[in-house]
Amino acid sequence: MPKKTPQDGPEGVEFTRNRLEVLIQALAYAAIDDFDYCMSLMRGDAEGDSFARLEMEFTDFLGKLVGAKTALNEALVRAEESNRELEAKLETIERQQAAIRELSTPIIEVWAGVLCLPVVGIVDSQRSAEMTETLLETIVAKQARTAIVDITGIEAMDTKTADHFIKMAKAVRLLGADCILSGINPSIAQTLTHIGVDLTGIRTLRNLRDALQFFLREQAASHLVKLQPLVESAQA
């Protein structure tokens, strides 16, 4: 360690140059993140001269740098931890979404050839597409002639959701089955009127009970119609 006593004259210059070299060395070590060795180089008795001021400021600055770095590292560790927590939460949400999808489309055969799809909760594009697909496939599989879509469990509907249901009903009709929409509440009724949907061919009834009664009455009536020709020919 060079003597830190300043002198005038050529030895003074030589002395200052030594201290300068120490400073440069310290900077070099700081640059490669070896703060410990860097700090140890700067330790020494403080002098009163003007160069000592540079040494002091540098040591001060170094201390702050080390402090900042430590704080940054701690912050990074915390950030990584909360990132991991968030990812775990996202995974949970995904698993729950899958479970909800599994539960969300029960299709119940309430009578021979009559299917009922009770809709509860939020219906977005993906869910309505899945529900429609499942309903159509079940209609074909069971050759069900009537599908009752009950929306008692839906509080309110916007234009997009209403559109999904209209498409669902139209797809059912396209297959050749009847579609009954039941359980429309006042708010949804107003929405449907307001957006002016075309519900031709889609019967709307108050509730599942009315829908079933309607279906049974139609059944009885069509049996009567079939009997008509026999009756007429008997009377002739």
Partner 1 sequence: MKRSTVATTGSDGRSRTSDQNLAIIQIRNCLLVSIQTELHDQLALDLQESLMERVRSADARGVILDVSAVEVIDSYITRILNDIGKSVRFMGAECYIVGIRPAVAMTLIEMGVELDSVNTALNLDLALERLELFQ
| Residues engaged in binding partner 1 (CB under 8 A) | 129, 132-133, 136-137, 139-140, 143-145, 167, 170-171, 173-177, 225
* Cβ atoms within 10 Å, residue 151: 20
Q: How far is the CB of 233 from partner 1 (least distance, A)?
A: 13
- Kindly list the distances between the CA atom of residue 215 and the CA atoms of 46, 114, 140, 206, 218, in Å, as whole numbers in the listed order: 101, 9, 19, 14, 5
Q: 126-131: list long-range contacts, CB under 8 Å, 24+ apart.
A: 127/101, 128/161, 128/164, 128/165, 128/167, 128/168, 129/164, 130/101, 130/104, 130/105, 131/104, 131/105, 131/168
- Between CA 148 and CA 110 the distance in angstroms is 10
CA–CA dist 234, 236 (Å, integer): 6
In angstroms, give the least distance from the CB of 168 to partner 1: 8
Q: Which is nearer to partner 1, 66 or 175 (CB)?
A: 175
CB of 119 to partner 1, least distance (A): 17
Which among 182, 136, 142, 141 is positioned nearest to 128, based on CA atoms? Answer: 136
Residue nearer to partner 1 on the CB measure, 193 or 200: 200
When the beta carbons of 62 and 144 are compared against partner 1, the nearer one is 144
Q: 116, 146 in Cβ contact below 8 A?
A: no
Are 187 and 156 within 8 A, CB to CB? yes
Of 31 and 230, the one with the shorter C-beta distance to partner 1 is 230
Rounded to a whole number of angstroms, the minimum distance from the CB of residue 144 to partner 1 is 8
Residue 103 beta carbon to partner 1: minimum distance, rounded to whole angstroms: 21
Token pair 């209403």: residue: 162
In the complex with partner 1, which residue's Cβ is closer, 52 or 171?
A: 171
Compute the least distance from the CB of residue 81 to partner 1, in Å.
46
How far apart are alpha carbons 187 and 165 in whole angstroms? 16
Residues forming beta bridges with residue 115, ordered by sequence position: 109, 147
CB nearer to partner 1: pick between 33 and 124: 124
Q: CB of residue 143 vs partner 1: minimum separation in angstroms?
A: 5
Closer by beta carbon to partner 1, 151 or else 177: 177
